[in-house]
Amino acid sequence: MDFLAPQSQSNLGVVIKDVNLAENLSNKDLKSIRELWVKFGVAIFPNQNLSLQEYENFSQQFGPFGEEPFLIPMEEHPHIVKLHRKPDEEAAHFGGAWHSDWSFQKKPPSATLLYSEIIPPSGGDTLFANTADAYDDLKDELKEKISLLRCLHSAKLPYAKDGVYATEDKNRTMKIHTSDEANKTISHPLVRTHRETGRMTLFINPVYTIQIEGISQDESDSLLFELYIHMAKEKYVYRHKWQSDMLIMWDNRTVIHMAEGGYDGHERLLHRITIAGERTE
C-alpha cells in the first residue's frame, strides 16, 4: 500500500494506492487507512473493482452502518443508497449546498463512503472544506465568543413536507422520502472536539443548522453567515474530480462537503454508505 499526500493548501484528500479493497485487509493496513483518513479528512481509493457486497464488507471495518432517514436504499442492499441522475433528468443535482451528512441526528455519521460506477465526462466534482483548519484560523476573540455556544440542527429545509424535495416540480431518479419527522431538532455544540485527533472543529452547516441557541434569530443568522463565509474560503477547500471505479471516504467530523452539477445530458451513478458516529457532547 502506498499513498500520495494532499497537493492543495486545504490539507484534505489523500490518495491511497496499491491496495485491493475487495480483499481481506490486514489489521496493519486497516490501521494505516484509518490513520490516513482521520489525518487528511478524505481518503481516495482509485481503480477499485468492487461488488456491492465487497463494498459493504470494506465499509463495516470502520464501524456499524448509519441510518438513512430520508433516502430510500436499495431493496437488496438496505444500507446502500443509489445516487443516480439520468441524462434527461431536469431536477437539480442532489447535495448541492455545503453540509455535513445527517448532522441533525443524535449521533451523526462519522464517515460517508461513495463508490463510483458511471461518471460523466465533465462536471460533478465534489468539494470538501476543512472545518478544523477553519477553526484554528479564527481570531481568539471569535473563538472565545463561540466556545460554549450550541446550535439546533434539523432536516426540515430539505426533507419536511413543505421542504425543498417535497415541493420540487421536476421528476427525480433518486428515491427520497419526505416526512414531518424532518421538523424535529437536535442540539449540538457549535465547536466540536474530534475524538480521534483532539482537534476543535466548526460543527455547523447551512443545510441543517437552523439557529444558534440563546440568541435572536437575526444575531444567529449573522454569526452563522460570517462563519460559513470563512469556512468556504479557497484555502480550506479540496475539489475532488471523479473517475469510474473510485471509492472515497470522508470524515463528517472534520469536513463539510457539497456536490457540483454541470453534467446535464449525461448519466451519473454512485453508491453511498454511511457509518454511524458518536454523540457530539
User: For 95-150, what is each residue's pLDDT tens digit?
Assistant: 999 999 999 999 999 999 999 999 999 999 999 999 999 999 999 999 999 999 99
Place 205 in a pLDDT band, splitting at 50, 70 and 90: very high
> What's the pLDDT score for residue 111?
98
Q: Which of 269, 257, 274, 237 is nearest to 97 (CA)?
A: 257
> What's the pLDDT score for residue 281?
72
> What's the pLDDT score for residue 108?
98
Q: What is the mean pLDDT of the chain?
A: 96
> What's the pLDDT score for residue 1?
87
pLDDT tens by residue, 76-86: 999 999 999 99
Where residue 249 falls (left for φ over 0; alpha for ψ -120 to 50; beta otherwise) is beta
Query: 184, 103 in Cβ contact below 8 A?
Result: no
Domains by residue range for the chain, with CATH = 2-275 (3.60.130.10)
Place 174 in a pLDDT band, splitting at 50, 70 and 90: very high
> What's the pLDDT score for residue 40?
97
Reported as half-sphere exposure (CB side, CA atoms, 13 A), residue 152 has a value of: 18
Cell of 256: 463539510
What's the CA gap between 142 and 135, in Å, rounded? 10
> What's the pLDDT score for residue 6?
84
Query: 144, 270 in Cβ contact below 8 A?
Result: no
Residue pointed to by grid coordinates 463561540: 146
Place 36 in a pLDDT band, splitting at 50, 70 and 90: very high
SS3 of the chain: the string is CEEECCCCCCCCCEEEECCCCCCCCCHHHHHHHHHHHHHHCEEEECCCCCCHHHHHHHHHHHCCECCCCCECCCCCCCCCEEEEECCCCCCCCCCCCCECCCCCCCCCCCEEEEEEEECCCCCCCEEEEEHHHHHHCCCHHHHHHHCCCEEEEECHHHHCCCCHHHHCCCCCCCCECCCHHHHCEEEEECEEECCCCCCEEECCCCCCEEEECCCCHHHHHHHHHHHHHHHCCHHHEEEECCCCCCEEEEECCCEEEEECCCCCCCCEEEEEEEECCCCCC
Residue 62 reports pLDDT greater than 80: yes
Residue 201 reports pLDDT greater than 90: yes
pLDDT tens by residue, 259-274: 999 999 999 999 999 9
Place 200 in a pLDDT band, splitting at 50, 70 and 90: very high
pLDDT tens by residue, 5-19: 887 899 999 999 999
Place 169 in a pLDDT band, splitting at 50, 70 and 90: confident
- For the entire predicted model, the pTM comes to 0.97
